[in-house]
Amino acid sequence: MFISVLCRKYHLPTTEAEKSRKRNSAVKISSAESINAVIIGASGYAGSELARLVAAHPALALAGIYVSESSNDAGKPLAQLYPRLRDVVNQPLQPLGEQQLAHIKQPAQVVFIATEHDVAALLVSALHDGNKLIVDLSGAHRLASASDYERYYGFEHPFEAALNQAVYGLAEWYTDELAQAQLIAVPGCYPTASLLVLKPLASLLANLPVIINAVSGVTGAGRKPKQNTLGAELSLQAYGVFSHRHQPEIERYSARAVVFTPHLGNFKRGILASIYATVADDVSHQDVEQAFSVYQKQPCVRVGHQQTPAIQDVEHTAYCDIGWHLNGRQLIVFAAIDNLLKGAASQAVQCVNLRLGLPQTAGLPL
């Protein structure tokens, strides 16, 4: 019922013919002048970081920031919620109703969506007309099939065709695909840290599951209040054991079985992932070093042998720091990122830069 109501409200395509017309259209964006960009879901932690980056971007113009009609933040200046954005983003958060949605369809050339997953799936279908680039920071377009969403996200995906169209936004690995994208699925925060480690190692690892233990700051749980994110309740605790929605995402894009256990830490932001793997016979230090050399020309990834990255060194930046240690066949790799930036907002902007033919680092905090 919820989905059908939104389909009617937002005039979503309901027939295969309508969906096909949308799929067959092509996005045409020129970077010759400022590109109008809007953000839906700008009141959240990742959305507010995105607003800050877009407002300061040399090629993007922040044309509007939106929240749901029912949000208590509707009408408030974003800087009222986040005082650090005063004189940086002075716009109010507009309630997203039918009139605003129709308005977005006209001038916006880039639409960032940072909403709940089920809402994002509906909004993509409403806005995916081929005339704009849609960048989805939710998990609504990262997995392969609609059945995955029922299992891991708890909702029925309304338009499975979009799952085949979405380009995965792991910027360092899908550069060519991103250059032609109409719909970008920005990776999750844990998958970003994990995949930047696993993908270079694909040919070096034994055919055994990889173990990933990762700790995230409390902002990874979102802005809505929850008991386990209250100051007095904060500790260090595992969650989502054998059931976290990022596990199938990591497995899909690494093509490898993983045992992934996330932890919620008692700090604000950042992720530190510890990744344990067994290399194949005769794999040497030189082989691992050569594998990670793929990042030598990637400005947002820094790799060091025998190093142990720290969250404080990547906090408030677009970097991923990687450190690796090999002892016999046992390989331990650490990856540190800012969950709100490289794990969300700055990676979204990095993908847009690639789509527009701009330097990857345009507008990024490095």
Q: How far apart are CA 346 and CA 169, in angstroms?
A: 11
CA 215 from chain centre, in angstroms, equals 17
Instruction: Give 211's strand partners.
Output: 259, 276
Query: For residues 185, 63, 77 and 82, what is the CA-based torsion angle, rounded to 10 degrees?
Result: 40
Q: How far apart are CA 143 and CA 163, in angstroms?
A: 7
Q: How far apart are CA 64 and CA 54, in angstroms?
A: 11
Nearest-5° Cα angle at 48, 42 to 50: 90
Contact between 319 and 169 (Cβ < 8 Å): no
| Strands, E assignment, the chain | 35-40, 60-68, 94-96, 110-113, 133-136, 167-168, 183-185, 210-216, 237-238, 258-264, 271-278, 301-305, 320-327, 330-337
Q: How far apart are CA 327 and CA 325, in angstroms?
A: 7
* Catalytic residue check, 300: no
Residue from 189, 300, 320, 351 carrying the catalytic annotation: 189
Burial of 199 (0-12, 13-18, 19+ CB in 10 A): middle
The two counts, helices (H) then strands (E), for the chain are 13, 14
CB-facing half-sphere around the CA of 30: CA atoms within 13 A: 2
Helix-, strand-, coil-residue percentages of the chain, each rounded to 5: 35, 20, 45
Active site amino acids: 189
